[in-house]
Amino acid sequence: MKKQLFHGSDHIIETPIYGVGKKHNDYGQGFYCTEDIALAKEWAVSEEKDGYVNEYEIETNGLHILNINDGSFTLLHWMGLLLNNRAFVLATPLEREAKRYITDCFPVPLAGVDVIIGYRADDSYFSYARDFISGVISYEQLGKAMQLGSLGEQYCLKTEKAFQHLKFIAKEHVPSAEWYSKKMLRDRNARNGYKDMEKETYHRGELYISRIIDEEMKSDDLFLR
């Protein structure tokens, strides 16, 4: 099966290079794409600089694709990937124990995986994750927050085999004057929605990270589904 993917960048990338890129992205080093061209255009621009959307076609047959959002995993599996890859400042004993517990008890099997599909942790999503391990918001609030901003899913190509299945199709210039404001509007809507969730109020009866740890909840616990 062939899928159409887009990558937003400040330059044209006809041949993505395997083995380069930041190691501290959401799912580690890899080439990140989306099926949503509008999101790719927003990712491509900065306040004063235009960008490009690079269009690709990927042949998924023969690839081992892991979808974090397919129902087999919980939000804590996604959190575990972030905690292993992104730079978190763990300032309190609860935050340090949360990282240990989540990464130990909610591992994601990545051996042999060519492509990871999952949430994209932009700055606002990253702040939700940080608030959760700090005990500021509950698991239920985290789930609601992940729907804010409609950021959709991203594809992370992890292996040389995945890169070989990727074919460059076209490029499109993306003007900052048009797309930067849309990028900021999406982020602002997500942040405003998060403020409206009353995160400063304790939600009695909901699952906070301390309870998840104390009760030693695991991925098969119905409360986490």
pLDDT of residue 56: 99
Q: What is the pLDDT of residue 150?
A: 67
Q: Which pLDDT belongs to residue 126?
A: 80
Provide the pLDDT for residue 195.
81
pLDDT, residue 219, reads: 93
CB distance 95 to 41 below 8 Å: no
* Burial class of residue 49 in the structure, from the number of CB atoms within 10 Å of its CB (0-12 exposed, 13-18 middle, 19+ buried): exposed
Q: Per-domain residue ranges for the chain?
A: 2-215
Looking at residue 152, its pLDDT comes to 73
Grouped pLDDT means (10 residues each) for the chain, 225 residues = 97 96 91 96 97 99 96 94 90 97 97 95 79 95 83 91 98 98 90 79 92 96 88
Asked if 212 and 139 count as a contact pair (C-beta separation under 8 A), the reply is: yes
